[in-house]
A and B are shown apart, each in its own frame.
Chain A
């Protein structure tokens, strides 16, 4: 009995280690690529190479990468909303500006963040709000003084989640602002030409887009579950 339990624990660990490698491998290859010269990239078997920072300086100097990009609402197909936004932007001469992208991203982030916060608000016991009213606070004052502090961690997680959505979106940004006001994903998509020098810079650009999001997500990891399930799961 203990023998078979040991084996299954061992299998569990093996599966997890395998998964860690599956997730980590691609990141590692791109990380290596971002420090390779054009020549080293074209010679992938060469595992020893002299690292270069050239790719990183290309990316950091290119101004478009500092622009914010912003993911997609869970309910509506974005294709339903994007063309009205485009037509309105044309009519108002706001096409190819961040204003158009920003407004479109509100439609994208708002439903998700609203859904995300349901679970946090539901978790606040009604009694403390009622107690605050008994103590003489008005309804809104009670909400502000008692309920909001309780959901503050959730608000933080929702903000990060909304930020990630907006930061990662390509579809809206590509259609509404493909030229002058490129967001990061649109700029990354511009590395699509698979020739020479671009590859190393592309690796660096990918990592520039990934790192802030990974760091941000790390801090809210524990609250994500309750948020994503919109309160439909008890955590």
Chain B
């Protein structure tokens, strides 16, 4: 056996054991009516679980909620992250400290971040509401229509650093020549940014948005820590719905079917973006 295959074998074996086998198992679960409370009566039901999802309103609403969350959070993270990355690049003093400090939120346990913000935004105990009260204003952070955006804001607080990290690395690897040329030609800062920085950075931008987007899609901790899906089903994200279906209602078959639909959506997004990137690279 060739050396490279022998070197690869341990990884592949471990992958098959802890990823491959559970994936196949999960697909099998999604074709049954498996319930953890009555495992003796498990029956093969074919695609019935998937068929049931088609008419399951909470599933579709959870997909919409998750999509809204993703677009809001990742959109803001991209804009703020790009701004911060450009500022950090031009910073002259205390660089290392600022960078370490600004990156710190992404290492914090997400459940702790959720609870931190629940505390900070608490109507009676939180500093923000006290400030608003002084100004005779009031705002319900976790009310209908606002809760989901508050959760998105928390995601922005925790994960913008990830964007900054990726974009900063991208910015620092850009060639200098085009910028010099633009400066010699007297191009304005905005024009330089739009017609040089953005196109040169596009590959990194796509990877950063993709990684963040897929991660935002499985938001769970903030929902679990703060709203538990409420008010109503305003913040019932797909990951939280799957958790409820599997753990509170014990319907592992149904939950696995939902997870597989999510997996198919994820794969579709990845493949489409990846193909576009390959095309761009060829040009």
A-to-B contact residues, CB < 8 Å: 8-9, 12-13, 15-16, 19-20, 22-24, 26, 29-30, 33, 41-42, 44-45, 69, 72, 74-88, 90, 103-104, 106-107, 110-111, 114, 139-140, 143, 164, 167-168, 170-171, 174-175, 184-185, 188-189, 191-192, 194, 199, 202-203, 205-206, 209-210, 213-214, 216-218, 221, 224-226, 228-229, 232-235
Contacts and interface: CB of A to CB of B under 8 A. Distances in A.
A107 to B, nearest CB: 4
Contact of B109 (A12, A87, A210, A234): A210
A213 B101 contact: no
Contact of B19 (A111, A170, A217): A111
Nearest to B156: A22
B136 to A, nearest CB: 16
A214 B107 contact: yes
Interface of B: 3, 7, 11, 14-15, 18-19, 21-23, 25-26, 29, 34, 36, 39, 83-84, 87-88, 90-92, 98-105, 107-112, 115-120, 122, 124-127, 130, 157, 161-162, 165-166, 168-170, 172-173, 189, 203-204, 207, 211, 214-215, 217-218, 220-221, 224-225, 239, 242-243, 246-247, 252, 255-256, 258-260, 262-263, 266
Given A41-B125, A110-B19, A74 B262 contact: no
A175 B101 CA distance: 33
A83 B109 contact: no
A71 B24 CA distance: 23
B89 to A, nearest CB: 9
Q: Please indicate which of the listed interface residues B125, B203, B239 has the most CB atoms of chain A within 10 Å of its own CB.
A: B125
B170 to A, nearest CB: 6
Contacts of A19: 84, 87, 102
Nearest to A33: B119
B100 A218 contact: yes
A74 B173 contact: no
A126 to B, nearest CB: 13
Nearest to B94: A16
Nearest to B262: A77
B19 A167 contact: no
B246 A82 contact: yes
A194 to B, nearest CB: 7
A174 B34 CA distance: 20
Given A206-B116, A228-B166, A235-B172, A16 B87 contact: yes
Given A9-B92, A175-B246, A210-B107, 17 more contacts: A19-B102, A26-B157, A30-B120, A41-B125, A77-B262, A84-B22, A84-B23, A87-B36, A188-B111, A188-B115, A199-B125, A209-B112, A216-B107, A217-B107, A229-B207, A232-B207, A233-B173
B259 A26 contact: no
A205 B218 CA distance: 24
A110 B14 contact: yes
Minimum-distance CB pairs A-B, first 4: A84-B25, A79-B259, A84-B22, A107-B18
A207 to B, nearest CB: 8
A107 B22 contact: yes
Contacts of B34: 87
Contacts of B87: 12, 15-16, 19
Nearest to A95: B36
A161 B29 CA distance: 32
A23 B242 CA distance: 31
A175 B243 contact: yes
Nearest to B256: A83
B104 A214 contact: yes
A113 to B, nearest CB: 10
